[in-house]
Structure 1
Amino acid sequence: MKKLLFIFVIAIFVVACKDDGSKVYFDAGIKKMYESTDSAQRIANYKNAFADFNKAIEINPNYVDAYMNRANIKNELGDYQGFLQDCKKASEIEPENTNVYIYLARIKKTRGDINGALAVLQKAISIDAKLSKAFSDRAEIKSGQKKYKDALADYDKAIKFTSDKELLKYLYSNRGLTHLDLGDKNSACEDFHNAKDLRNPNAQGEIDSFCK
């Protein structure tokens, strides 16, 4: 029984200051979008933020971050086709922007489009062959498919290519669980101890469960 610990984080795209006026609307949209309120008010905030992102795009039709945050709102409000259209537009403007593909793949995965998510992750990897986030996301999918050897290979690459300790502590834990699935307890425990050294809050429980 595997519990993957990878943290799903919706990317918030940040841009340099623009002097065409679009950033004023973009910043207003971001503020409204992430205000902490009850669920009913949150929907109203999303709709107000949506209007701000529309204005930012009207001023600057190449504003990728506005497209991506508007896509996020469309997804939250149930407009999946609109979400896909905004992601497509963002990728057309900045075809080398791997953040767009990572975000798109994660949403596809949450909606059960596993093959679609894998295809998008492969696109990201074709742009950046050392993109740790893409390998870690693909490893999680492969593990869920019980393709443990493939998952292990991707976790190896994700760990090799990242210097982000916050990500690394979960990658070690996930790779340890994958080693267990493949019957390699020693390697699993080594990974759990590495995760503990990086202050993964779940690592001690994994050590207690599997390494005694």
Structure 2
Amino acid sequence: MEDRFISWYNFTEGFGKEMSLAEDVFTNMIKSGLEDNCLTKMDFTFISDKKENLTNLSDFIKEHYSYTIKEVKKCDDIWEINGETNEIPLTRDNLMYWVLDMYKRGYEFDAGLDAYGGLFDPKIQNFPDLKIFKADHYFNMGIECYNMGDLSGSIFNLSLAITIDPKDVDIYYSRAVVKNELYTWKAALRDYDLAIEISPDFINALINRGSLKDENGDYSGAVSDYQKVLQLENVDIESLQQAYFNLGNSMLNLNNREDACRNWEKALSLGAEYALERISTHCK
């Protein structure tokens, strides 16, 4: 068994606790006068049993986030690093996603998110200017953050874009993708729902929502989404391949091997070579 400071079991067991703690921290900040989207710098501390873990984590954060990080230091039998974020627009959801982002990054480098907090003056609060910048500005910032690996920064900006333009389906779709990467699949599903509610024929959202449903046991719901794609006109070939292939997977999960094989074979006939493995394994 791998010798880790933070095991996968520890990570999964602590996930819900981190969400609850973030909720408590935000509630206390609200009681102190914080208003939604107040631009706030958060300080944070990671710990690990190995210096190299924190050195690697520090290098990663410096490269992918606009944060400042101090030198790794030893405290008794443990190593720690401290840092500070850039200004982030704090809301209940934003704080939670920032915490989950840091919690996830810590785990990836076998370190634990040990503490965090944010100081603000309730009498002097600054906010993002939603009048000067259009939704496209924050959407582009959200995509840029995502491409850099700053997942929470992506959500901050995409959420601001939605505040400005709550009817833009691409923003909901993009935020759903990021939320799912932070293991909040139910919240991701809600964003896909909103995108599809606005644009019922949004092919990529239907396929992604179907995949998310399948991954979480809603096989019949996944089948409905894939079938909806296949009923649409002018669907591009790659989407058809994916819809047939995924439909086959969900049919297999529903113990319908015959329909599963038929859909994989259809995907293969459209050029989806990746369906061959499924066919050779399940369709003998």
Instruction: For residues 14-65 of structure 1, give each alpha carbon's deviation from its aligned partner in whole angstroms, at most 9, with x where no partner exists.
Output: xxxxxxxxxxxxxxxxxxxxxxxxxx8xx76997xxxxxxxxx99x71150x
Higher strand share: 2
Q: Distance in 2 between matches of 1:176 and 1:93?
A: 40
Match of 1:186 among 229, 239, 258: 258
Shift of 1:202: 0.8
Match status 1:127 vs 2:231: no
State yes or no: 1:158 paired with 2:229. yes
Give the match for residue 201 of structure 1. 273
Q: TM-score, normalised by structure 1?
A: 0.66
| C-alpha RMSD of matched pairs (Å) | 2.7
DSSP-derived class of the 1:154 partner: helix
Residues in 2 aligned to 1:88 and 1:70: alpha-carbon distance in whole angstroms: 11
Tell me, in whole angstroms, the C-alpha distance in 2 between the residues paired with 1:113 and 1:44: 25
Which residue of structure 1 lines up, in the alignment, with residue 134 of structure 2?
62
Change (3 A) 1:136 1:150: same
Write the distance in 1 (CA, Å) between the matches of 2:217 and 2:64: 40
Structure 1 residue 106: Cα displacement: 0.6
**Unpaired segments ≥5 residues, structure 1:** 1-39, 48-56
Aligned equivalents of 1:63, 1:115: Cα separation in 2: 25
2:240 corresponds to which residue? 168
| Structure label with greater radius of gyration | 2
Instruction: Return the alpha-carbon distance in structure 2 between the equivalents of residues 91 and 114 of structure 1.
Output: 19
Q: Which residue of 2 aligns with 1:25?
A: none
Q: Report percent identity of matched pairs.
A: 25
Alpha-carbon contact 1:131-1:161 (below 8 Å) kept: no
**Higher helix fraction (1 or 2):** 1
Q: For structure 2, list consecutive stretches of 5 or more residues without a partner in the other structure.
A: 1-58, 67-128
Moved more, 122-131 or 83-92: 83-92
Give the length in aligned residue pairs.
Answer: 160
1:101 aligns to 2:101 (yes or no): no
What's the CA shift for 1:94? Answer: 3.0
CA contact (8 A) 1:46 1:73 kept: no
